[in-house]
Structure 1
Amino acid sequence: MAMHKLVLSQSLMIISGCVFLQLYPLEAAPELSLVRSLPGFEGTFPSKHYSGYVTLEGIPPKNLFYYFAVSEKDPVRDPVVLWLNGGPGCSSFDGFVYEHGPFNFEAAKEEGGLPVLHLNPYSWSKVASIIYLDSPVGVGFSYSVNTSNYVNGDLQTAAETHLFLLKWFEQFPEFTANPFYIAGESYAGIYVPTLASDIVKGIKAGIKPIINFKGYMVGNGVCDPEFDGSALVPFAHGMGLISDNMFKEAEVLCKGNYHKFISIDCQQILYKIFMVLDELNIYDILEPCFHSREADDVANGNTTLLPQSFKQLGSTGRPLAVRKRMFGRAWPFRAPVEDGIIPSWPQLMRKVIVPCMDDVQATIWLNNDAVREAIHANPESGNWSLCVSLLYIHDAGSMISYHKNLTSSGYRVLIYSGDHDMCVPFTGTQAWTQSLGYEVVDEWRPWKSNGQIAGFIQEYSNDFTFLTVKGAGHTVPEYKPRESLDFFSRWLERKQI
């Protein structure tokens, strides 16, 4: 159980030429948040790790959970990066366990055992201090004693995450001078720019502590319904997934707009295209879907062969083609994201079955009592699951205006795409980045990692960059860990990618 005590921190305040010692309370001393060991890992941590809660005042209060991995290189100077997974409603332990956290997780060698942890040679904490935040409240280990607080939207989430950061930097004042960045993927394409906007407003208003905000990065992120919604058909054609005739027919009948069904004929050709693509893995078209006899049985309404966790869903829908470990880790089904209430993955699971879901290792590890005690996760947070049902409202609209405002204000931006993701295809992301109208300062060219072409990059004025990662799916660092660490570190260090 997390330990809390009142700790007084001090700063100097000058009023009318007189110097006063100002005392203010911190919710938990950093030393009480120190992670001293982790079940499943034998060895020495490569840097200090902290985890625990930041409490947002209210009746009742909201408790936001974080895990903080200090940089392994130069903590005094290296950037601090806040990482956010999407969903909405998915825990950022997704990024910690499966993407770029300090450890790689190996399945237990015997049934009922804990996963075995090994140091990850491509952890992003090699070059930066990373905060993994469960947000909004109700996600992962973040909780409130009143679950009516689990009603969220884009604007509220951004405001509460901003408050979290202000309180977090009060608890860790030694990091306030470090360059600060935000990073995230998928639905964090909404989380990141909205939060960045709130941070900038706070800086302009002089809210303290002043966050040394420098910029942000988004991977395979949703952005704008028009661009995201019209991306799939050109992507499928370019990847050789649909025929020339299908593509040309769609172009004529839909007039290049695949976001809105402008006619019955347009709707019919799009339905035809979707049926052709139906059994592909939408999160990486190169990866198998793990179809099996069990999956076929589910499609026919026979759930006797499935694990109990699937039977309890009471679903008899068609199996959904997704890769292993994908359970709400991405924007459900396909982009775009529309205004209004967003269905969560658990809600969608009432209609479809995900037979190839396998988040077993994270679920076993994070629900182990010893692990939860080691990372100071309160029992009141309940069982951990990768994604939860939230009443969540998309109320921030298109992100294009956010990106324009932030880049014109001098903040650095990197937008990256795994080029084999069909959920948020790079074609839509490339189109909206071009639509900003910035001058091209480094024309489309390959970038390399380990001596090999790892993708392509185009740099614009206003320190705005679009980058693809060759052969990667929706969660880029999971598919291409070495390449991801390369572009991440070079961009942070302002080196040429």
Structure 2
Amino acid sequence: MAIPRRCSAPLLGLLFLLAGGLCCLSLAAPEGARITSLPGFNGTLPSDHYGGYVTIDEEHGRKLYYYFVLSEGNPSTDPLVLWLNGGPGCSSFDGFVYEHGPFNFESGGKSLPKLHLNPYSWSKVSNVLYLDSPAGVGLSYSNNKSDYVTGDLKTASDSHKFLLKWFQLYPEFLANPFYISGESYAGVYVPTLSYEVAQGIKSGVEPILNLKGYMVGNGVADAVFDGDALVPFAFGMGLISSDLLQEVNNACSGSYWNPTNENCESQLHKVDKVLDDLNIYDILEPCYHSPESSEVTLRNDKLPLSFRRLGETNRPLPVRKRMFGRSWPYRAPVKQGRIPTWPELGLGSAVPCTDDQVATAWLNDESVRSAIHAEMASIIGPWELCTDKIDFYSDAGSMIKYHKNLTAIGYRALIFSGDHDMCVPYTGSEAWTRSLGYGIIDEWRPWYVDAQVAGYTQGYDHNLTFLTIKGAGHTVPEYKPKEALAFYTRWLAGTSI
């Protein structure tokens, strides 16, 4: 820092103090964690970036990878937000590359992707910590393959261990307001981890984290509410006729998630047939692959890799089970609560309606791995958007009890939904938030960006907010980046959305 020649002693002291504070912010990070440049990006990074591993089990060598983006505003006081993608088995680089990271990625063809600054990055207003979890997902790994057998509760416990160790490495952020966020199957990850953190705070586990609340986007929550959401969504969007709706209601008595008679099953197959060729992540969008490479239907044997397993609970699986209104013709014997692996389901490798080529090309390049302090593919294998490496048990059950507990003791919660997502329809999220029975303090109304309706919101007691984003699909910031940054900024600041 250049100091003017004519400068009073108090001012000199203040300048040196400020310089020292800025220096300490960087020096407190682990040695070698700072990311100084990124292949594919020309120019100075918009803020400081850090990346690397936190070992959560020394004996097994279980390590979780993180990528940390400091705020472009005031990193010392801006909120710190943890981001988790779902699956289970999907890397949080999904959010970094395609949703709200500091860059927009442009395909480089046979060359590396080109990175451009993202004007709607969430790092504009917050520090963002991207975590690959559990071990075996993305760039996280273990030297003991038994760690790849995991589930909801172990994932929450491991992520909590990660946070405690991470904050020891970055203690200057302990005072920042801390939020946990994610989407899709992170509808399970977020509340279970938030509960672990809250219990740790209550028990005095150090370091004491400054948890303020959590956010879930298009997240699974409860088998019944989410499973019954598709048919009302399809009718409300004009995708099925009133006659078919009446037939399904008569056969299923309004309960679609686990049909108990053949007539109900038959009528639900009619719904499946009508919706077969839609992009389930956004019904307004086309699919990105040719029909030859990815047939798109609502049956779980054709669901994309990242969402084929949504909504499982710790109940035994019936011979035929419906999740989110979609039939699952899986007939092999399963253990209680275990989510079947891809080979058992007979799934191929194609990911319908999605394209992860840019992220795959970038994250499997050796120069990128070196720049972000990640292990090489020769050691931990190739990066995959969603992996088949883990054997996952869904053992936490319904998330409603977690949401009730967390909101009742004062943590803020934002439940947001892209209103054109058919994978986890907003109708289910709206229903379960309403079912908590909290008083309405902000009646259903539109919210705005640039004087245009951006969606609708309803506010409840106990700092619970439900929000829709008009025209957005399953991954809201990917479809509506400006609107996503707008509600994110307002909610973090505690102002009205």
Report the CA distance shift for 1:432/1:355 in structure 2 as closer, same or farther (over 3 A): closer
Q: Which residue number corresponds to residue 384 of structure 2?
A: 385
Q: Which residue number corresponds to residue 445 of structure 1?
A: 445
- Could you list the per-position Cα deviations for residues 46-79 of structure 1 after superposition, in whole angstroms to 9, with x for gaps in the alignment? 1100000000124312010000000110111111
C-alpha deviation, 1:241, in angstroms: 0.4
Whether the 8 Å CA contact 2:33–2:50 is kept in 1: the answer is: yes
Give 3-state SS (helix, strand or coil) of 1:342's partner.
Answer: coil
C-alpha deviation, 1:263, in angstroms: 1.4
Q: Which residue number corresponds to residue 478 of structure 2?
A: 478
* Ranges in structure 2 where 5+ consecutive residues have no aligned partner: 1-27, 315-336
Whether the 8 Å CA contact 2:78–2:177 is kept in 1: the answer is: yes
Specify the code of the residue in structure 2 equivalent to 1:430.
E
Structure-2 separation of matches of 1:342 and 1:98: 27
C-alpha deviation, 1:344, in angstroms: 5.3
Report the CA distance shift for 1:60/1:291 in structure 2 as closer, same or farther (over 3 A): closer
C-alpha deviation, 1:356, in angstroms: 4.8
- Could you list the per-position Cα deviations for residues 267-315 of structure 1 after superposition, in whole angstroms to 9, with x for gaps in the alignment? 11011111111111111000012463xx34x6xxxxxxxxxxxxxxxxx
Q: Which residue number corresponds to residue 400 of structure 1?
A: 400
Q: Which residue number corresponds to residue 365 of structure 2?
A: 368
Whether the 8 Å CA contact 2:288–2:354 is kept in 1: the answer is: no
Report the CA distance shift for 1:410/1:356 in structure 2 as closer, same or farther (over 3 A): closer
The correspondence of residues 271-420 of structure 1 with structure 2, limited to 5 A, is 271-290=269-288, 292=290, 295-296=291-292, 319-320=295-296, 328=304, 330-332=306-308, 336-339=311-314, 340-343=337-340, 350-351=347-348, 353-354=350-351, 356-379=353-376, 380-389=379-388, 390-420=390-420
Q: Which residue number corresponds to residue 269 of structure 1?
A: 267
Structure 1 runs (4+) deviating above 3 angstroms are 326-330, 343-349, 351-357
Structure-2 separation of matches of 1:68 and 1:486: 21
Q: How many residues align?
A: 442
* Ranges in structure 1 where 5+ consecutive residues have no aligned partner: 1-27, 299-317
Give the TM-score normalised by structure 2. 0.86
Report the CA distance shift for 1:67/1:80 in structure 2 as closer, same or farther (over 3 A): same
Whether the 8 Å CA contact 1:86–1:329 is kept in 2: the answer is: no
C-alpha deviation, 1:327, in angstroms: 9.0
Give 3-state SS (helix, strand or coil) of 1:471's partner.
Answer: coil
Give the percent of matched residue pairs that are identical in Structure 1 and Structure 2: 60
C-alpha deviation, 1:252, in angstroms: 1.4
Q: Which residue number corresponds to residue 164 of structure 2?
A: 166
Q: Which residue number corresponds to residue 105 of structure 1?
A: 105
C-alpha deviation, 1:30, in angstroms: 2.5
Q: Which residue number corresponds to residue 144 of structure 1?
A: 142
Whether the 8 Å CA contact 1:48–1:69 is kept in 2: the answer is: yes
Whether the 8 Å CA contact 1:327–1:345 is kept in 2: the answer is: no
Structure-2 separation of matches of 1:203 and 1:231: 35
Structure-2 separation of matches of 1:412 and 1:179: 12
Report the CA distance shift for 1:342/1:96 in structure 2 as closer, same or farther (over 3 A): same
- Could you list the per-position Cα deviations for residues 246-273 of structure 1 after superposition, in whole angstroms to 9, with x for gaps in the alignment? 1011111111111111211111101111
Report the CA distance shift for 1:59/1:33 in structure 2 as closer, same or farther (over 3 A): same
- Could you list the per-position Cα deviations for residues 404-436 of structure 1 after superposition, in whole angstroms to 9, with x for gaps in the alignment? 000000000000000000000000110000000
Whether the 8 Å CA contact 1:105–1:118 is kept in 2: the answer is: yes
Q: Which residue number corresponds to residue 209 of structure 2?
A: 211
Whether the 8 Å CA contact 1:332–1:345 is kept in 2: the answer is: no
- Could you list the per-position Cα deviations for residues 378-399 of structure 1 after superposition, in whole angstroms to 9, with x for gaps in the alignment? 1232211111111000000000
Structure-1 separation of matches of 2:175 and 2:303: 37
Specify the code of the residue in structure 2 equivalent to 1:386.
L
